[in-house]
């Protein structure tokens, strides 16, 4: 089975407070000056059951970057699900796949309303993915519920189990491992009917040791192989028609410090989260509309970036997703941001950005 989706973006529309230095490399490399059109994601998914007990999911991204070379094909997902029982309630997932940490991390970008994932939980793992072995369990009826919720209208995460456990390299997707030990993750989530509306609540946490990379002028305080651990709570109210999602995580991980320590990487505390309110209106403009507002807070390091810079992010995004067809969605958003730059010397930047995205599903 061959499918996929592509996101085309233009982020340079007029705004009330333009700041050309307002960038966000983790979220979208096409922010900031000297940008015009961008392909944010170009996905092709090959999936199928190769046996009643084995299925595969292979997803390269054709909009990846190596240096100045854009649009190179690099892996996202590449895993096999091995079902341990005939009802497919218990399974092992072997390969590179999403780490079960955070609802928005697990939700497909094709289903997310907001342009980019929130910094707070998405800073946990590069590309949300790691190479390892995961165990998932979900009762048959809940598996069906996950499947019913995972679409662009209800915006579910798909089935990452009611219980998810995993061990994995911990240095990020598509990157060399840097130590002999593994990261471990555990997650519990439960989607249930509350009156006429589906609600999902979950908790998750991980622990491991990470090797940060540093450039000239930056150094490690003590050795590498730093503690990298987080715990998070999730609440999702599915948009039927009003929806709400909130997630928050606390922990510690590689990060530059403040003041005198602003060139020293060490394992430091971090915390942050987001809350999003949305409202689904069907049968308008030939499709459905989903206005949303999302606020994000984050204070902590991004370990996957060189020097593990410390971010202070306060961001408010107001947007509307217009689902014209199943195959075609257009999203517009206005973002009010106060965030640390992704580039040394990591200055704090304020500004507004008006963004538009065309998403094609195939």
Nearer to a copy of itself, 34 or 216 (CB): 34
Binding site for a copy of itself (CB under 8 A): 2, 6, 8, 12, 33-39, 42, 44, 46, 48, 50-51, 53-54, 56, 58, 60, 62-63, 66-75, 78, 80, 82, 94-96, 131-133, 168-170, 173-182, 325-328, 358, 360-362
Kindly state the smallest distance separating residue 26's Cβ from a copy of itself, in Å: 17
Nearer to a copy of itself, 79 or 311 (CB): 79
Nearer to a copy of itself, 70 or 190 (CB): 70
Nearer to a copy of itself, 74 or 297 (CB): 74
Assess contact for 332 and 355: CB atoms under 8 A.
yes
Q: Any idea how long the chain is?
A: 362
Kindly state the smallest distance separating residue 245's Cβ from a copy of itself, in Å: 28
Distance CA 356, CA 178 (A): 38
**H or E stretch at 281:** strand 281-284
Q: Which two tokens stand for residue 228?
A: 């990298």
Distance CA 322, CA 69 (A): 32
The SS3 call for residue 344 is coil
Kindly state the smallest distance separating residue 359's Cβ from a copy of itself, in Å: 9
**H or E stretch at 323:** strand 310-323
Kindly state the smallest distance separating residue 44's Cβ from a copy of itself, in Å: 7
Q: Which two tokens stand for residue 1?
A: 């089975």
> What DSSP state is assigned to residue 141?
H
Kindly state the smallest distance separating residue 131's Cβ from a copy of itself, in Å: 5
Distance from the first to the final alpha carbon of the chain: 11
Assess contact for 192 and 146: CB atoms under 8 A.
no
Residue 52, C-beta contacts closer than 8 angstroms, at least 6 positions apart: 83, 86
Nearer to a copy of itself, 53 or 314 (CB): 53
Assess contact for 304 and 329: CB atoms under 8 A.
no
**H or E stretch at 42:** strand 37-51
Nearer to a copy of itself, 92 or 250 (CB): 92
For 268, counting Cβ atoms within 10 Å of its Cβ (0-12 exposed, 13-18 middle, 19+ buried), the class is: buried
Kindly state the smallest distance separating residue 78's Cβ from a copy of itself, in Å: 5
Kindly state the smallest distance separating residue 67's Cβ from a copy of itself, in Å: 8
Q: Which two tokens stand for residue 80?
A: 């096999």
Q: Alpha-carbon Rg of the chain, whole angstroms?
A: 20
Nearer to a copy of itself, 318 or 327 (CB): 327
Residue with tokens 């929130």: 118
Distance CA 134, CA 117 (A): 23
Kindly state the smallest distance separating residue 20's Cβ from a copy of itself, in Å: 8
Kindly state the smallest distance separating residue 244's Cβ from a copy of itself, in Å: 31
Nearer to a copy of itself, 302 or 310 (CB): 302
Nearer to a copy of itself, 189 or 359 (CB): 359
Assess contact for 253 and 229: CB atoms under 8 A.
yes
């Amino acid at each position: 089975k061959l499918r996929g989706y592509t996101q085309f973006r233009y982020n340079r529309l007029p705004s009330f407070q333009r700041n050309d230095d307002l960038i966000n490399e983790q979220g979208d490399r096409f922010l900031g000056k000297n940008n015009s059109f961008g392909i944010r994601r170009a996905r092709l998914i090959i999936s199928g059951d190769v046996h009643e007990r084995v299925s595969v999911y292979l997803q390269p991204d054709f909009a990846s970057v190596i240096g100045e070379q854009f649009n190179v094909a690099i892996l996202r997902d590449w895993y096999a699900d091995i079902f341990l029982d005939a009802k497919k309630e218990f399974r092992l997932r072997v390969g590179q796949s999403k780490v079960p940490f955070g609802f928005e991390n697990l939700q497909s970008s094709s289903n997310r309303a907001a342009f980019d994932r929130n910094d707070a939980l998405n800073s946990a793992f590069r590309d949300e993915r790691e190479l390892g072995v995961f165990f998932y369990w979900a009762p048959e009826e809940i598996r069906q519920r996950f499947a019913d919720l995972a679409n662009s209208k209800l915006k579910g995460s798909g089935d990452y189990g009611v219980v998810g456990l995993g061990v994995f390299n911990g240095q990020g997707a598509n990157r060399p491992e840097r130590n002999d030990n593994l990261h471990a993750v555990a997650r519990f989530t439960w989607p249930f009917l509350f009156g006429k509306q589906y609600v999902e609540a979950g908790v998750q946490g991980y622990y491991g040791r990470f090797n940060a990379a540093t450039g000239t002028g930056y150094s490690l305080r003590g050795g590498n192989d730093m503690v990298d651990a987080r715990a998070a709570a999730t609440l999702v109210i599915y948009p039927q028609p009003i929806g709400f999602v909130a997630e928050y995580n606390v922990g510690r991980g590689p990060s530059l410090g403040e003041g005198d320590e602003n060139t020293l990487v060490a394992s430091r505390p971090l915390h942050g989260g987001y809350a999003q309110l949305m409202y689904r209106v069907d049968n308008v403009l030939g499709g459905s509309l989903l206005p949303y507002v999302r606020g994000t807070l984050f204070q902590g390091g991004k370990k996957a970036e060189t020097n593990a810079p410390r971010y202070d992010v306060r961001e408010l995004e107001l947007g509307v997703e217009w689902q014209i067809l199943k195959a075609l969605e257009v999203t517009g958003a206005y973002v009010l941001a106060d965030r640390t730059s992704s580039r040394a010397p990591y200055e704090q930047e304020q500004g507004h950005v008006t963004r538009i995205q065309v998403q094609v599903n195939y």
